[in-house]
């Protein structure tokens, strides 16, 4: 399925997908909007080779890109397992909002910036943000939820998009650890992968020797990864202020879903009325698993999952939570992000 560059740039079905290693080619993937509803994320793991791709020279894309138009662009950055996918799905309102869940290209850009925060990679970020701003309908707002492995992009993205805002969604540490423990070995591997990623760019040093890090348990490592992300969110909040970012605890989201949707809608300029927020809350988004759409799920189901983790792993989780509190105090950082230092 060969297409001209002009067609790929004008059609929002063609999503920017990934750069090659040298950054000389940008690959697009064609994923029509109706198909996206059945995809958990906009990644190869979900595409399963069902959607055509085509690459174009990076320089040609940059030269041909129309920078004069674009929808309002906002973000949901998160610390993982804190209902970010649920929030993004709730804010998919065709004709009003376009929600993009974890576009693959943002992880690639974050990794490129971690390797080299140079002019070329910053220009690529600018290009991708322009491409993600293409709406399907006039007046639509685009809301992007990157993977939390792309949180390195938070400050650079908002620096380039002066009108953009970001919700910084997080959970407390026990909630994250319970979610990872419930997932068994895969959850524990995820925690170690997240640590390895974030430690490459965080400005919160722990000063552990390699052998000391190796001696730590899976949940200790995951706790350190969580703390680095919380520290990053707090730093971003203080730097950008409440006009640019909203701090949102997932526990508050679950306690008052309609009220949270109303707050987020107003923050993003969506003008959601109370009736719309109530309808979203009562709709299918909150009755199915956010990542397994064929599975019935609810806020009550999430609470039962958390309780099961407490029963099976509560002692370990409590020990790690107390240890992380001591680590945070020693490092001079907080367990909760805030606009003013604690």
Rounded Cα distance, 281 and 259, in Å: 10
Cα 339 to chain centroid, rounded: 20
**Residue 308: predicted pLDDT:** 75
Q: Is the pLDDT of residue 273 over 70?
A: yes
Per-residue b or e along 221-258, where b marks 16 or more CB atoms closer than 10 Å to that residue's CB: bbbbbbbbbbbbbbbbbeebeeebbbbbbbeebbeebb
Q: Is the pLDDT of residue 276 over 80?
A: yes
Lowest mean pLDDT among 4-18, 141-155, 303-317: 303-317
Q: Is the pLDDT of residue 335 over 60?
A: yes
Q: Which of 146, 167, 339 is nearest to 239 (CA)?
A: 339
Rounded Cα distance, 174 and 317, in Å: 6
Pairing status of strand 14-19 against strand 73-78:
unpaired
Q: Is the pLDDT of residue 291 over 60?
A: no
**Residue 122: predicted pLDDT:** 96
Assessment of whether the complete model's pTM goes beyond 0.75: yes
**Residue 237: predicted pLDDT:** 98
Q: Is the pLDDT of residue 198 over 60?
A: yes
Contact 214, 208 (CB under 8 A): no
Local confidence band at 210 (pLDDT 50, 70, 90 cut-offs): very high
Residues in contact with 341: Cβ distance below 8 Å, sequence separation at least 6, in sequence order:
234, 238, 334
**Residue 33: predicted pLDDT:** 95
User: pLDDT per residue over 52-61, tens digit each?
Assistant: 999 999 999 9
Cα–Cα distances in angstroms (integers) from residue 229 to residues 77, 146, 168, 171, in the given order: 10, 14, 10, 11
User: pLDDT per residue over 71-108, tens digit each?
Assistant: 899 999 999 999 999 999 999 999 999 999 999 999 99
Q: Which of 279, 296, 293, 284 is nearest to 36 (CA)?
A: 293
Lowest mean pLDDT among 186-195, 316-325, 333-342: 333-342
What integer best gives the mean pLDDT of the chain? 92
Rounded to an integer, the average pLDDT of 234-254 is: 97
**Residue 133: predicted pLDDT:** 95
User: pLDDT per residue over 94-149, tens digit each?
Assistant: 999 999 999 999 999 999 999 999 999 999 999 999 999 999 999 999 999 999 99
The percent of residues above 70 in pLDDT, for the chain, comes to 93
Contact 91, 30 (CB under 8 A): no
| Lookup: tokens for 218 | 């899976």
Local confidence band at 14 (pLDDT 50, 70, 90 cut-offs): very high
| Lookup: tokens for 47 | 């595409």
Q: Which of 283, 324, 313, 287 is nearest to 302 (CA)?
A: 287
**Residue 145: predicted pLDDT:** 98
**Residue 2: predicted pLDDT:** 59
**Residue 298: predicted pLDDT:** 60
**Residue 342: predicted pLDDT:** 65
Contact 254, 299 (CB under 8 A): yes
In CATH terms, the fold of domain 5-331 is Rossmann fold (3.40.50)
H-helix segments, the chain = 5-10, 33-36, 44-47, 58-64, 84-90, 104-115, 119-132, 154-160, 173-182, 184-198, 210-215, 218-240, 250-255, 257-267, 274-282, 299-331
**Residue 288: predicted pLDDT:** 65
| Lookup: tokens for 183 | 């997932």
**Residue 157: predicted pLDDT:** 97
Rounded to an integer, the average pLDDT of 239-263 is: 96
Whole-angstrom Cα Rg for the chain: 20
**Residue 294: predicted pLDDT:** 47
Residue identified by tokens 């002066």 is 162
**Residue 93: predicted pLDDT:** 92
Local confidence band at 3 (pLDDT 50, 70, 90 cut-offs): confident
Rounded Cα distance, 308 and 311, in Å: 5
């Amino acid at each position: 399925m060969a297409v001209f560059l002009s067609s790929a740039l004008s059609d929002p079905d063609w999503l920017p997908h990934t750069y090659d290693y040298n950054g000389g080619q940008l690959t697009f993937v064609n994923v029509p909007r109706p198909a996206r509803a059945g995809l958990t994320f906009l990644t190869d793991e979900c595409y399963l080779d069902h959607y055509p791709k085509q690459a174009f020279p990076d320089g040609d894309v940059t030269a041909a890109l129309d920078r004069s138009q674009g929808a309002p662009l906002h973000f949901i950055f998160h610390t993982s397992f804190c209902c970010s996918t649920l929030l993004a799905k709730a804010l998919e309102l065709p004709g009003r909002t376009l929600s993009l869940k974890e576009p693959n290209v943002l992880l690639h850009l974050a990794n490129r910036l971690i390797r080299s925060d140079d002019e070329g990679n910053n220009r690529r970020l600018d290009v991708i943000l322009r491409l993600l701003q293409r709406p399907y309908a006039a007046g639509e707002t685009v809301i992007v939820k990157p993977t939390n492995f792309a949180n390195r992009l938070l400050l650079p993205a908002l620096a380039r998009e002066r009108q953009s805002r970001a919700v910084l969604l997080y959970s407390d540490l026990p909630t994250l650890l319970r979610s990872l423990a419930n997932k068994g070995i895969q959850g524990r591997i995820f925690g170690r992968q997240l640590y390895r990623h974030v430690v490459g760019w965080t400005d919160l040093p722990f000063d552990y020797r390699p052998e000391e890090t190796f001696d730590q348990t899976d949940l200790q490592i995951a706790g350190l990864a969580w703390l680095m992300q919380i520290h990053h969110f707090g730093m971003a909040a203080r730097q950008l202020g409440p006009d640019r970012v909203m701090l949102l605890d997932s526990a508050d989201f679950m306690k008052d879903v309609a009220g949270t949707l109303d707050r987020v809608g107003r923050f993003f300029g969506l003008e959601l009325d109370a009736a719309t927020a109530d309808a979203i809350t009562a709709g299918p988004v909150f009755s199915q698993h956010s990542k397994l759409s064929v599975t019935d799920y609810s806020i009550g189901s999430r609470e039962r999952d958390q309780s099961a983790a407490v029963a099976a792993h509560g002692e370990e989780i409590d020990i790690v939570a107390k240890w992380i509190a001591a680590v945070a105090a020693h490092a001079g950082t907080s367990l909760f992000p805030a606009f003013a230092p604690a």
